[in-house]
Structure 1
């Protein structure tokens, strides 16, 4: 098996920082400033903006947009159609000087259709339930569900 990333012919990958053995599927756009680690799987119909860092062994399912300021550490799972936001007070044609960083820590998982507000920190090995709306930091190993997301338990590993 080649160490080169596999980039589908119908993807628009402008970044030169795509790690070994990473797979980028059709209709994905990755802007030039983005960094994607090794052994990742970026599924179809995703968009990755410039100021984004994705660690090694990350899975990003279809329909996810990673906006400026998003940081996904190693071994993160992002389910289909998860919505990341990066501007607390969005206005058309008005950009903040800097976007808040949203961090998803090592080994955390985000269920399909969840919404992640700007600047939150999702702790190591935490689990965000499908459809949850994360409005504040999630502690390590916490399991959160609902809108707004609330802790209902903790993971074992």
Structure 2
């Protein structure tokens, strides 16, 4: 009988600021977490990710390589960041030169189960739960939908 190769959830090679709290199980490796961050259970934060001070990443979130998240942000339950746009018509299959980065500003709140494609999001933005962000957001405000669009006052 064949035996699978088993990997355990792990926290390794992480640069922690002061006062960071993590709830296991989670898989954090090669990333940097600023002061007073919180990371919930069943979360993966991959190498090279930088998360600013006082940012909260809730359970079941996936933060892939090439993501930077600013200070005082909130990443809701089940949020998924994507770095592979399938630019060749299929997955990059490890060809990292095809991956794209995501940069999240300060004071950005991302609702549960949102998907964030490789984009730039300015400061002071709210992303509604379940939204799919496919383009850069350069104006502060509230965005929701698939694709995410800015909501105007009174909506």
Residue 78 of structure 1, CA deviation: 0.3
Q: What residue is the counterpart of 1:5 in the other structure?
A: none
Residue 11 of structure 1, CA deviation: 6.4
Please, what is the CA RMSD of the aligned residues? 1.7
Decide whether the 8 Å contact of 2:84 with 2:92 is kept in 1: no
Decide whether the 8 Å contact of 1:126 with 1:139 is kept in 2: no
Q: What residue is the counterpart of 2:83 in the other structure?
A: 86
Decide whether the 8 Å contact of 1:45 with 1:64 is kept in 2: yes
CA distance in 1, matches of 2:83, 2:74: 19
Which stretch of the first structure deviates more once superposed, 125-134 or 138-147? 138-147
Alignment of 1:6-45 (within 5 A): 12-31=10-29, 33-45=30-42
CA distance in 2, matches of 1:153, 1:143: 8
State the aligned residue count: 143
Which stretch of the first structure deviates more once superposed, 10-19 or 131-140? 10-19
Could you list the structure 1 runs, at least 4 aligned residues long, displaced by more than 4 angstroms after superposition: none
Compare CA radii of gyration and give the structure with the larger one. Answer: 2
- Do structure 1's residue 150 and structure 2's residue 137 form an aligned pair? no
With normalisation by structure 1, the TM-score equals 0.85
- CA displacement, residues 15-66 of structure 1 (integer Å, 9 cap, x when unaligned): 24111100011111111x2111110000000001111001100000000011
Q: What residue is the counterpart of 1:96 in the other structure?
A: 96
- CA displacement, residues 78-132 of structure 1 (integer Å, 9 cap, x when unaligned): 00001110011152634232632201100010000111112x0111010000011
- Unpaired runs of 5+ residues, structure 1, are 1-9
When residues 16 and 146 of structure 1 are mapped into structure 2, their CA distance, relative to the original with a 3 A threshold, is closer
